[in-house]
Amino acid sequence: MMSLFPALFSFTLPVIFLLRFTVGIFFLMFGMRLLQAARVAYAHGVFVGIVGYLYGLTKLTVGLLLLMGAYTQLAAIFGMFLTILTYLQESSSRSNSSAEQVQILLFIICLSLLFLGPGLFSFDIPL
C-alpha cells in the first residue's frame, strides 16, 4: 500500500480515543440540554412525561460511557439508535439541516467505534 505518511498509522489508538471522547462530549451536551429543557417545561406547567427525562438521561449515560470508555460497543449501539431517533425527529420538523448533518456524522462515528473499539484511556482496552 502506498501512503504519504506511513508512520502515522501507528497512532490509531489515540485517534480512536479522540473520536470516542468527542462523541461522548456531544452526547453529554445533548443530554444536559434535554434534561434542562424538560425541567424548564415542567416548571412552566407543561407535562413532559417520563419519556422526555429518560431520553435525556439515556443520552447523558451514553455520553458518560463513551467518555470513560466503559462498555464502548454497547454505548455505540445506543448512540446510533439515539442519533437515528433524533435525526427522524429533526427531519420531521424541517427546522435546521445542519442539526441533521451533525446527527448523521455522530451516527457514522458511533458505527466506526462499534468496529474499531475504545482506543486509549478506556476501561475496555484490550490487553
pLDDT digits (tens, 9 = 90+) for 14-31: 999 999 999 999 999 999
| CA nearest neighbour of 60 among 29, 25, 23, 31 | 31
pTM attached to this predicted model: 0.87
In the chain, how many domains are there? 1
* Interval 45-56 mean pLDDT: 80
% of the chain residues with pLDDT over 70: 95
Q: Is residue 77 part of a domain?
A: yes
Q: Is residue 123 part of a domain?
A: no
At residue 47's C-alpha, the angle toward residues 45 and 50, to 5°, is 140
Q: CA distances (Å), 119 to each of 12, 15, 104, 113, in order? A: 8, 7, 22, 9
Q: Is residue 110 part of a domain?
A: yes
Q: Is residue 6 part of a domain?
A: no
Q: pLDDT tens digits for 60-76?
A: 999 999 999 999 999 99
Say how far apart CA 74 and CA 46 lie, in whole Å.
Answer: 33
Query: Tell me, what's the pLDDT at 96?
Result: 66
Q: Is residue 127 part of a domain?
A: no
Alpha-carbon radius of gyration of the chain? 17
At residue 97 the predicted structure's pLDDT band, cuts being 50, 70 and 90, is: confident
Structural domain harbouring 60:
13-116
Say how far apart CA 113 and CA 59 lie, in whole Å.
Answer: 16
Q: What is the mean pLDDT of the chain?
A: 88
